[in-house]
Chains A and B, each alone.
Chain A
Amino acid sequence: QKEVEQDPGPLSVPEGAIVSLNCTYSNSAFQYFMWYRQYSRKGPELLMYTYSSGNKEDGRFTAQVDKSSKYISLFIRDSQPSDSATYLCAMKRGSQGNLIFGKGTKLSVKP
């Protein structure tokens, strides 16, 4: 079993839809959870960062971490065509640990 599992999609939604992106993981030692956004032919950029369990909101984006289920989610409200990108989840064990990435989910938001 891979340490981090992420459905690669692709996922296609109409503009204005609520998008739900998810990752599962197997290692209960993970404490730091991130979501990166990667536009085509660009490097990944940090979107959301969460420590331990709980929710974090930033504008149209909400990150949720459920450590009991080893499941993390990213919700995008009122999705826009500019949200079309690949979204990668990432996590690490300790503050100085290496990041373990999911394979990424490709999202397309149609106008």
Chain B
Amino acid sequence: DAGITQSPRYKITETGRQVTLMCHQTWSHSYMFWYRQDLGHGLRLIYYSAAADITDKGEVPDGYVVSRSKTENFPLTLESATRSQTSVYFCASTGQDPEETQYFGPGTRLLVL
């Protein structure tokens, strides 16, 4: 199916563990993004990527690592999870057309105990 998918949809982990959230899009969009959404803060950009092997920091990158070896995949890794990283994580993508905007995945709910 065309679109943008995220996995897992729900994840419970413990402080200090490494967690990887997956994002996959089938549109061959150039740009991909990771956001976190928290009450009182709205959507905040963690990292983004303009193309394969090109990534850059967003507003709240600390504690996160990304990679983009293939255009369609953009995994987000929490190297050592902390309770403050409990959040809902959204992946998004967009193409090169300036009229296009971002399309969001369904989100991953992460709880760090």
Contact = CB atoms under 8 A, between A and B. Distances in A.
Interface of A: 6, 32, 34, 36, 41-46, 49, 51, 88, 90, 94-96, 98-99, 101-104
Interface residues of B, number: 21
Of B31, B50, B58, B104, most A-chain CB atoms within 10 Å: B104
A25 to B, nearest CB: 14
Given A43-B105, A43-B107, A45-B104, A101 B98 contact: no
Contacts, number: 47
Given A43-B90, A103-B42, A95 B107 contact: no
B79 to A, nearest CB: 23
Contact of A99 (B98, B102, B105): B102
B104 A104 contact: no
A43 B106 contact: yes
